[in-house]
Amino acid sequence: MIEPVWTALAAALASAGCQAVFGLPSDDPGLLDAADRHDLLRTVLVRDQRVAACAAAGHAAVSRSPAVLAVTSGPSVVNALTGLLEAASMAVPIVVVTTRIGSREIGRGGFQEVDQEAMAGPLLKWHTLVEGAEQVPWAVRRAVHLALNGRPGLTMLVVAAERREPDTDHPQDAGGRPRRLRSVPEPADLDHAAGLLRRAQAPVVLAGGGTRWGDAGRAVERLAEAVVAPIFTTGSGRGSVDETHPLTMGLAGLYATPPATELLEGCDLLLAVGTRLEETVRTGWEAFARVPIVHVDQDHAAFDTARTSDHRLLGDAELVCAELAARLRDRPPDPARARERGERIGALRGRLLTEAAGDVTGSPVRRALACLGDVLDDDAIIVQENGLHDMWSYHFPLLTVRRGMSVVTPGEQTMMGFGVAASVGAASCVPHRQVVVLAGDGAVSLSMNALATMGDLRLGVVIVVFDNQGFGWPRHLRRLDGAPAHLTRFRAPLPVAELARAFGGWSATPATEAETKEALRTACEVAKTGQPALVRIAVPDDDVPAGVDRVFSGPGH
């Protein structure tokens, strides 16, 4: 029998706007069973809680609605922690629902007793104990409200599903579906920022993950047009702006592609929107340390983290950008200077588009990305890892993200094994959209059971595996340090292609450019029929992404 508390939870989560519950069954019939019976909830059954957490993150990143992760006390919740660490770093809204052991067993060595609040605590914005069905509407509402608002993130409900007297004193849910609350700074603060942008000689706009909500990406574009400034994104901001827009220059920092780097180094004012200015953004950007920053974020904790900002605007990315753009349209920057700037940006973007891809014949990864660009749907979902070779995909315009596409990237943790698992969440919730994962063979080794789940759920995901028979990133660092690389080689390389087929999928190992094109085209067709399709690209060690080469191979290394 499903306890009333679980039925109440499923109903409350659905009415709070949650669409999917990720997990795998444990001992008691609980949330998964109740969600399975609920018409408005999709139950996504995986085989590993770590995959469930990444899948929930992938779902939340694409759907922009809070995902639900169902775990239980003990190894179940602990196994989810790595994925939750990444999800917290991505700032995606997830409500974790877990159980608690019986109260008489607490502290007495009870079965699967674990201090889950202490273990998950640093990753959570809030958690509470739920002791009965009557407490559920309030608890779910608050959990979803806090997951969605400010800097989005994780909340946890610990359900003690013991029969006890109903507590009639609990507030019932009367406020409707929780939504993101948006605000704007004081007019004087906006006026000051507009003045700084108007007077800057070489302003740069940087769009972070906070610009992926609402229509913030378009608002960023309009503001950049009014200022006449190039737009860069962070890894998690990618997808908010249309990279075919003439002011976009791809990613900043480690992932910046020359010659766009010249704009970053020549910048005299940085407008940072919805970003915590994480290390990958600051890496390989020398001018960053001294450039004045106007920082826009809806979370005051984002300010003065990696560096002190010069002017802080607390508010919603879309609304703040719209306010600033209106001010700049009313009183535009000096037209001669704006024209000059526009010409320089246009010329650099022209060089970026023609020079960056270069001759791709020596780089199987770049060649595969070039071929992939031809087969991506207008609303494709691209899911990224962060191994050595797949980092090429962070370099615009080797991959160009158009309006309508979505990108799911890991946050600052860059957990190996994130991508394939996250794609399960993306694909299971939007079955009509093309989902393409870019991953290394090491990452795919950690994703075996996610492949199995794709077979279970008939998820037509395209998986591009850059195979160097081992852990290329640590291998690269060892090579630079003159240390032996054998620790990073697999003695028994992963038979990725055979594995995909074993799990009911399709696979190919193309060698030439023509074969790569054909393999990716077929993979996309196969995926449409609900079959996972894996394309294995053999990669040599020296196919090192431009940013890594620039930053990690230069003087001092």
Q: For residue 537, which of 519, 518, 510, 517 has the smallest C-alpha distance?
A: 510
Task: Give yes or no for residue 387 binding ligand TPP (CB under 6 A).
Answer: yes
> Applying CB under 6 A, does 389 fall inside the site for ligand TPP?
yes
Binding partner of residue 473 among ligand TPP, Mg ion, none, CB cut-off 5 to 8 Å per kind: ligand TPP
Tokens of 452: 């199995």
Which of 394, 395, 398 is closest to 408 using CA atoms? Answer: 394
User: Residue 416 binds what, of ligand TPP, Mg ion, none (CB under 5 to 8 Å, by partner type)?
Assistant: ligand TPP
Q: Which residue type, as a one-letter code, is found at position 213?
A: W
Judged by CB under 6 A, does residue 552 bind ligand TPP? Answer: no
Instruction: Tell me which residue of 21, 158, 145, 40 sits closest to 93, measured CA to CA.
Output: 145
The stretches of 91-235 forming alpha helices (DSSP H) are 116-120, 136-148, 187-199, 216-227
Per-residue DSSP letters for 440-468? EHHHHHTTHHHHHHHHHHT--EEEEEEE-
Residue number, 342 or 474, with CB nearest to ligand TPP? 474
356 binds, among ligand TPP, Mg ion, none (CB under 5 to 8 A by kind): none
Nearest to 252 by CA among 229, 218, 227: 229
Q: Which does 157 bind (CB under 5 to 8 A by kind): ligand TPP, Mg ion, none?
A: none
The yes or no reply on residue 415 touching ligand TPP (CB under 6 A) is yes
Point out which span in 154-162, 174-182, 346-354, 386-394 binds ligand TPP (CB under 6 A): 386-394
Which of 25, 474, 504, 530 binds ligand TPP (CB under 6 A)? It is 474
Residue 83 lies near ligand TPP (rule: CB under 6 A): no
| Nearest to ligand TPP of 131, 441 (CB atom) | 441
Shortest Å, Cβ 411 to ligand TPP: 12
Which residues are near Mg ion by CB under 5 A? 440-442, 468, 472
Can you state the percent helix, strand and coil of the chain, rounding each to 5?
45, 15, 40
Q: How is residue 307 annotated by DSSP? A: S
Stretch that binds ligand TPP, among 59-67, 167-175, 217-225, 464-472 (CB under 6 A): 464-472
Region 433-462 residues binding ligand TPP, contact defined as CB under 6 A: 440-443
CA angle 548, 552, 553 (to 5 degrees): 100
DSSP assignment of 516-549, as one string? Answer: HHHHHHHHHHHHHTT--EEEEEE--TT---HHHH
Does 364 contact ligand TPP by CB under 6 A?
A: no
Specify the stretch interacting with ligand TPP by CB under 6 A; choose among 186-194, 307-315, 381-389, 430-438: 381-389
Report whether 309 contacts 244 (CB < 8 A).
Answer: no
Q: Of 210 and 419, which CB lies nearer to ligand TPP in the complex structure?
A: 419
Enumerate binding residues for ligand TPP (CB under 6 A).
387-389, 414-416, 440-443, 466, 468, 471-474
